[in-house]
Structure 1
Amino acid sequence: MVYVLFSVFCSVSVSVILKLARRYAVDVPQIIVWNYPVAVLCTWLFLQPDWSFAAISTAPVALYGTLALLLPGIFFALGASIRYAGIVRTEVAQRLSLFIALLAAFWLFGETAHTGKLIGIVVGIVGILCSIGWHKGKNQHGLNHGMWLFPMLVFFGYGIIDILFKLVAQHTEVPYTASMLFVFCGATVAAFAYLGYQVFISRKRFSMHAVFWGIVLGGFNFANILFYMKAHRALPENPSMVFTGMNVGVIALGALIGIFVFNEKVSFVNKIGVILAIVSVLIIAYS
């Protein structure tokens, strides 16, 4: 379980970095841009993907291109969600995006829809609604635009990304690690195109601080993926334990850090939402 703990720590660290970046007035979108070259380098060094030009010719290019655009786009939404809705709500939305992939598994990939998992999905949806529900914060009147829009973008966005990665995995002609490398390369191109537009067209100031923050962010983001993969390899007979530990751990640790470190204001209904999110993960994992 040590790999699960490391993965949880790295996942929550990504949110903490984005939260701190706003506090120190570092441009968050630029930080996210520099995260992708790090992802490419780390994938090449640590996963050592096996690829060939023959494999590239059979690769699902349309899927790669879609993911290359979605990954940075939804990452930008994640940063905005942390800014406007906080770590607590954002972590719940990101972790429970697994419901989108589960529903797709039932309806698109022909898996059996177990009653327990459907109950878990229903409980989780209620948890999401409660976690981003009515909040009377300072200078806020009920729900504001950022309090619900960005977490919902995170929820649906990461759910769609999970589905697309599953479709990529079905193309067995290309090793999955090679597919990850291709997608990260495409995301790097898309992210730098955005950066070029911001700097040269919109005349936004280029931030050297963002380069450093982006390298740190990319390191933690990739470490999260690496340790999660290692956890599954270390516990091949207990995938539900890895699944549960990761999702419950991130939601719980994210909630603790958001509330006690960053003093995020959450209502009683929001706290109920976090508890329901954890319960839903447990139901899905063990049903």
Structure 2
Amino acid sequence: MIYIVFAIICSVIVSVNFKLLNRYYTNAYQAIVFNYPTAAIFCYFFFKPDLSNIPTYQNWLLFSVVAVLLISIFYFIGKSIATSGIVLTAIAQRLSLVIPVAAAFLIFSETTSTLKMIGLVIGFVALYISKPKGETKLKEMVSWYPIIVFLGTGILDILFNLLTQINNISFTASLVYIFSISAIIGFSTLIIQYLKGDLKFEIKAALAGIVLGIFNFGSIYFYLKALKLESNQPSVVFSSLDIGVIFLGSLVGIVLFKEKLSKLNTIGLILALIAIVILNLPNAI
């Protein structure tokens, strides 16, 4: 379980970094961009994936789509944490598992159970009542950030599942390709902004991005180590990670950043934990 604990800590530190980026850095996007080459380098040297097999055109297309989504969702996670807080963003991120679960039987015609359906309903209710305190109008962009994080992370979960099904290319090799593409896209946009005179390079933002990349990689590294160690019960890893991130994230948000939760937010937090437990039950009937 020690790997799960480390994965939880790294995930929450990523959220804390986003909170601090909003407070101390004028260009958080720069930090997000520098996070990706850092994560790619760490993935390559720690996992040592076999890159000898050349990806197909379809593989590159999938890698590119995931890369674009990654950098986009990371941006919206930062916006969500800055405006809605660590607690509500963590709930939105971790409840995103209802999307691949729902897609499994709505799109891919997999069988499901009554208990799983109950878990889905509870998850959607939890997301709805966990909206930012005082925000009731969906026309206001701040209300959409957690929803975008929820939808985007859920779609990424489905695409990451497709990555595990690619023949001759390991998941860790796919990660190296994806992080590298994200870095190329990110730096391309920064160069365009610089040439247009809309960007000023900030060393502190770059350093913050490197730190962000280290802990972003750490969350993935320890998560995969935990899955390998608990290969016979992956649902334990999934549920422990999701619950742990929400719990520790909530503790950090409330204690360190003085985030306030309404009664509905608190109920949403409890329902989110219940939904995660139900959806991760291996043999729910």
Could you tell me the TM-score, scaled by structure 2's length?
0.94
- Is 1:204 aligned with 2:199? yes
Distance 2:136 2:66 in 1: 35
Percent of counterpart pairs with the same letter?
A: 41
Greater CA drift, 19-28 or 121-130: 19-28
- Is 1:253 aligned with 2:248? yes
Match of 1:243 in 2: 238
Q: How does 1:1-287 map to 2 (within 5 A)?
A: 1-52=1-52, 54-57=53-56, 60-132=59-131, 135-136=133-134, 142-143=136-137, 145-286=140-281, 287=284
Distance 2:70 2:239 in 1: 24
Distance 1:243 1:220 in 2: 19
For each residue in 1:235-265, what CA deviation from the matched residue of structure 2 results, as whole angstroms up to 9, or x when unmatched?
1222121111100011111111111210112
For each residue in 1:160-216, what CA deviation from the matched residue of structure 2 results, as whole angstroms up to 9, or x when unmatched?
111112122222232222111111111111111121122222422111101110010
Q: How far 1:51 moved relative to its partner?
A: 2.0
User: Letter of the aligned partner of 1:27 in structure 2?
Assistant: N
Distance 1:41 1:2 in 2: 24
Is the contact between residue 26 and residue 209 of structure 1 (CA under 8 Å) also seen in structure 2?
no
Q: How far 1:98 moved relative to its partner?
A: 0.9
Root mean square deviation, CA, Å: 1.6
Gaps of 5+ in 2: none
Q: How far 1:143 moved relative to its partner?
A: 4.6
Is the contact between residue 127 and residue 276 of structure 1 (CA under 8 Å) also seen in structure 2?
yes
Gaps of 5+ in 1: none
Distance 1:124 1:215 in 2: 34
Distance 2:152 2:177 in 1: 20
Distance 1:221 1:235 in 2: 21
Q: How far 1:146 moved relative to its partner?
A: 4.0
Distance 1:252 1:16 in 2: 14
Greater CA drift, 58-67 or 95-104: 58-67
Could you tell me the TM-score, scaled by structure 1's length?
0.93
Is the contact between residue 25 and residue 205 of structure 2 (CA under 8 Å) also seen in structure 1?
no
Q: How far 1:58 moved relative to its partner?
A: 6.4
Is the contact between residue 190 and residue 199 of structure 2 (CA under 8 Å) also seen in structure 1?
no
User: Letter of the aligned partner of 1:95 in structure 2?
Assistant: R
User: Letter of the aligned partner of 1:33 in structure 2?
Assistant: V
Is the contact between residue 59 and residue 173 of structure 1 (CA under 8 Å) also seen in structure 2?
no
Distance 1:96 1:57 in 2: 33
Q: How far 1:50 moved relative to its partner?
A: 0.9
Q: Secondary structure at the match of 1:55?
A: coil
Is the contact between residue 81 and residue 146 of structure 1 (CA under 8 Å) also seen in structure 2?
no
Distance 1:58 1:170 in 2: 16
